[in-house]
Structure 1
C-alpha cells in the first residue's frame, strides 16, 4: 500500500484570533512555512510560488524541513492557457512539487461557457506538458470551474482514457456536500432535476453516489479535505467582490449576480469555535458527512492495492466562500483535520509519511 502524505494549503496558514481575524492579507511566507511545520502533523507545504518567491520557497523548505510536494493554479481557457500553465508548472517543479492541481474556469476567455471538448483538450494538453516537465496535473472538483456540474467528470475521464491518457481528479467533495438540500446551488450546477430524480446522488451514504463512482473508476489522485455541512450557513463575515483580484473568481454571469452577497457556505469549523469566533451556531453532528467521505476515500485506498491516491491536503482557507473574517485559528483548524486523518489512517492500517517528511 502506498504511503499517503498530508499537506496544508498555504492559504490556511493563519494564526487568526478574535483580535486578528482571518483575512485576504496573509502572513509572510516565512511565517506560513513555520506555522505548518510547527503544527507537527503535516508532511509538506502546499502552494505555488510566484516567480519572485522561488528562491524563498527553496530556503524555507530547507530551514523548516518541510517539502513542497504539491502546488495549485487557476486557469482560464483561451490563448493564454498553455503559456500560463507552462510557467506555473515550471515554477512548481523548481520547488520540488510532484503534482499540480488545476482549477479550470467554466468561463472561457471569449466570454462564454467552456465545452466538454475544450476541457478534454485542455486536460490532454496539461498531461502532455506535465510529462515533459516531470509533474502530474490534476483537475479539481470545484465551484466556478468546469466541474461545478459533476456529471462532466466521467465524460472527460472516459474521453481521456480513449486517448490512452489517465485522468487525475483532485477530489474536494466540500464543493458538492454544501449544495445538498440547497435548490439554488443545485441550479447553479445544473443538476437539481437529476438530483431530485435520483440520477445524480450527492449523498455519500447512499448507493451509487458520486464519490463511489469516482473511486471505483480509479480517478482520485489527490484528496482535499475541508469541513462543510449540507445546507450550512453562508459566511456572514465576508461579501463577494469581483474587483478583489486576490479572490480568484471569474467574471462570469454567476459571479456578477453574487457581488455584495455573503460568501457561499463552503466551510464549517471542524472543531467547536469559542464564543464570538464564528458567526453561526455550531453542532458537531453536522460534520459527519464530510468525515464519512474522508473515511470512504481512505478505506478505498486501504482495500485496493491499485488505488491511485497519493496526497491529501487540508483546505480550511481564507477566501470569501470559506473562512474570511473568522476569528478562530485557521492553522489550528487545519491541524485538527490532519490529526483526524492520521487517526483514521492508523485505524485502517494506511501507511503514513512522517510529519515534515
Structure 2
C-alpha cells in the first residue's frame, strides 16, 4: 500500500457488491468468499470491515486466511435494555477474529420506550470500555441516524464528561449523517437543530469555520472516520420504498458519476465536495496534531434502503473510488503540510 499512509483503510462489507444494470444493488449479497476476493483484488484496501455472526464466523476466518485479508474493525447496533449481552458477545467475536475496534451504534430509545439519558449513555460507554479493555478491543461510538448521536448537541457534552473522568472517548465520525441534512428542514427537525442552525449557533457545513466536524476533531476523540459521499439536501432513494411506501432517506450520493439509467436522479460533481472536505479536515487534523487518535478509515457506500438499494451502478467500484480519493487526499494534505500551508 501507499508508503507513509499511517491509517488502516477498510471496505464495509455491505459495499462489497459488484452490482450493475442487470444486477442492481441488492440486500441479497455475494458470498463471503466473493466479498473478500473483491476487496483483496482491488488493491486499495488494507482490510475487510464487518462483524461476523456466530453462524458464519468460520466462513470469515476461512476467507481471511485464503485472501490474507484481516478484519480490523467491526460494527453493530444496540438497544439499551435489550442488547447488553449481545454487545458483550460481539466484543468477544471481535477478539476472536483479531479485530481491534468495535464500532457501536446505540439507538436513541431504550427498550422500554424512553429516550436514553446522558447518564445512561455515559454508563453504557464505561461498561463497554471496561469490557473492551479486558479483551484488547477498543469501543467507538458512531455518529449515525436513528441513534442518540443524531441529536448532535448531545455529543460534545457527553464526550467531555467521559474525558473528564480520565477515560478517552472514542468516536466514529461518519459525517455523511450530518451533511445530508444541510438545507433540509425536516431532517434538521429530527436532530432538534433547525433553530440552532438558522441562528448560526450550530454549523453543519464542513467548509465553514466552527463546523461540527471541526469541533469533534478538536476534541481529540475521532478514532475512526468513514467516507460515504452524500449531497446536502440530496434526493431521497426513489428506487427503494419502505413499509409505508415512502422512499428511503437520501444518505448516499455516488462519488463518481453513474452512467445513464444507473441512478434515479441527475448527478452533479459539486454535491460530493462537502463529504470530501470532511475527510480532508480529518487528515489535516491528524497531520497537525501529534496526539491525534485517528487510526481507522472505511469506505461506506452500502446497499441498504436509505443508501444505495436498487441503484444500478457498480456499488463496489464506488467504494474503490472512495478509497482512491482518500489515499490521494492524504498525499495532497502531506504536500500542503510540508509546504507550511
Classify the TM-score, shorter chain.
Answer: over 0.9
Note if contact 2:8-2:46 (Cα within 8 Å) is conserved in structure 1.
yes
CA distance in structure 2 between the partners assigned to 1:297 and 1:140 by the alignment: 15
How do residues 108-123 of structure 1 correspond to structure 2 at under 5 angstroms?
108-123=110-125
Match of 2:43 in 1: 40
Shift, 1:166, TM fit: 0.8
Match of 1:256 in 2: none
Runs of 4+ in 1 over 4 A off after TM superposition: none
Structure 1 residue 337 and structure 2 residue 322: aligned? yes
CA distance in structure 2 between the partners assigned to 1:165 and 1:240 by the alignment: 40
CA distance in structure 2 between the partners assigned to 1:201 and 1:348 by the alignment: 23
For 1:52, what is the secondary structure of its paired residue? coil
How do residues 205-220 of structure 1 correspond to structure 2 at under 5 angstroms?
205-220=207-222
Q: Which consecutive residues of structure 2, in runs of 5 or more, have no partner in the other structure?
A: 336-341
Match of 1:313 in 2: 298
CA distance in structure 1 between the partners assigned to 2:141 and 2:282 by the alignment: 17
CA distance in structure 2 between the partners assigned to 1:182 and 1:32 by the alignment: 35
**What's the CA shift string for 1:153-187, capped at 9, x where partnerless?**
11111111122211011000000000000000000
Query: Normalization by structure 2: what TM-score?
Result: 0.95
**What's the CA shift string for 1:124-152, capped at 9, x where partnerless?**
11101101111000000000000001111
Note if contact 2:5-2:327 (Cα within 8 Å) is conserved in structure 1.
no
- Equivalent residue for 1:82, pick from 77, 81, 84: 84
- Equivalent residue for 1:20, pick from 20, 23, 29: 23
- Equivalent residue for 1:270, pick from 255, 258, 262: 255
Structure 1 residue 175 and structure 2 residue 177: aligned? yes
For 2:235, what is the secondary structure of its paired residue? coil
Note if contact 2:280-2:333 (Cα within 8 Å) is conserved in structure 1.
no
CA distance in structure 1 between the partners assigned to 2:257 and 2:210 by the alignment: 32
For 1:349, what is the secondary structure of its paired residue? helix
Match of 2:339 in 1: none
Note if contact 1:30-1:60 (Cα within 8 Å) is conserved in structure 2.
yes
Note if contact 1:2-1:310 (Cα within 8 Å) is conserved in structure 2.
no
**What's the CA shift string for 1:196-222, capped at 9, x where partnerless?**
111111111112111111111101000
- Equivalent residue for 1:73, pick from 68, 72, 76: 76
Match of 1:139 in 2: 141
Match of 2:287 in 1: 302
For 2:330, what is the secondary structure of its paired residue? helix
Match of 2:338 in 1: none
Note if contact 1:54-1:94 (Cα within 8 Å) is conserved in structure 2.
no
CA distance in structure 2 between the partners assigned to 1:260 and 1:132 by the alignment: 46
Shift, 1:22, TM fit: 0.4
Considering only aligned residues, what root-mean-square deviation do their CA atoms show, in Å?
A: 1.2
How do residues 120-269 of structure 1 correspond to structure 2 at under 5 angstroms?
120-241=122-243, 259-269=244-254
CA distance in structure 2 between the partners assigned to 1:292 and 1:209 by the alignment: 11
Shift, 1:260, TM fit: 2.3
For 1:275, what is the secondary structure of its paired residue? coil
CA distance in structure 2 between the partners assigned to 1:260 and 1:161 by the alignment: 44
Shift, 1:2, TM fit: 8.0
Number of residue-to-residue matches in the alignment:
332
CA distance in structure 2 between the partners assigned to 1:320 and 1:278 by the alignment: 14
Match of 1:62 in 2: 65
